[in-house]
Amino acid sequence: MEFLTGSGLAAAAGMNAYIPLLAVGVAGRFFPDAMQLPEGWAWLSNGWVLGIIAVLLVVEVVADKIPAVDSVNDVIQTIVRPTAGGLVFGSSSTASTVAVTDPAEFFSTHQWVPILVGAVIALTVHAGKTALRPAANIATAGAAAPVVSTIEDVGAVGMSLLAIVAPLLVVVALLLLGLFGWSVWRSARRRRNADLRPATERMADG
């Protein structure tokens, strides 16, 4: 169950770094029965931390919906999203703390494993998002950016909530996420191939 919770939160971080961080922090602060953060991760539920994450979330949501700016934002988020994925996976698993005070103990007790797993999951989702978005923007002259971004934000919210409340459904959500990415890629590829066809062929079809 911890693995499913961590996987769902990390996948959400690959779409939007701050939504799962905010979800974990809010759940830990106001709904401890739903998610009880380990002592070393209690800082995620600090009021100041939640405020900073909320501000960063607003910036991310706006930037990700502007064509061209979204691609630049994805480059910047290449470090942020995997880091967030590692944090949310670690905070929902047996990793005791993000502050490594004793490196030897940190590695010998395998506390790094869930953090690394979360980072890899988030990076995988982020890589797919980064690859698909430019193709969708080119195929639709930028019109797809706000639509796809909104769907991703909703998906990140839904994935985060499922990971905390109903971890077993994370498997279904991950499958749906994969199907969505595949359909967007296929649609963008078809549109691009149609635009690249010679004008004579398009006239002949007409």
Q: How far apart are CA 19 and CA 40, in angstroms?
A: 21
Residue 42 vs residue 195, higher pLDDT: 42
Residue 96 lies in domain: 2-205
Phi, psi of 100 (to 5 degrees): -85, 95
The mean of the pLDDT values for the chain is 78
Statement: residue 104 has pLDDT above 50 = no
Confidence of residue 157 (pLDDT cuts 50, 70, 90): very high
- For the chain, the domain total comes to 1
Q: What is the pLDDT of residues 36-85, one digit of tens each?
A: 777 777 888 899 999 999 999 999 999 988 888 888 888 889 999 999 99
Among residues 126, 132, 158, 148, the alpha carbon closest in space to that of 8 is found at 158
- What's phi and psi for 40, nearest 5 deg? -70, -10
Q: What is the pLDDT of residue 12?
A: 92
The tokens for 153 are 């934000």
- Asked whether 41 and 178 are in contact (CB, 8 A), the reply is no
Biggest alpha carbon–alpha carbon distance for the chain: 71
In angstroms, the CA 173 to CA 26 distance is: 22
Q: How far is the C-alpha of 21 from the C-alpha of 94, rounded, in Å?
A: 17
Q: Are 163 and 92 in contact (CB under 8 A)?
A: yes
pLDDT category at 97 given cuts 50, 70, 90 is very low
pLDDT of residue 199: 45
| 70 secondary structure, DSSP code | H
Task: State whether residue 38 is helix, strand or coil.
Answer: coil
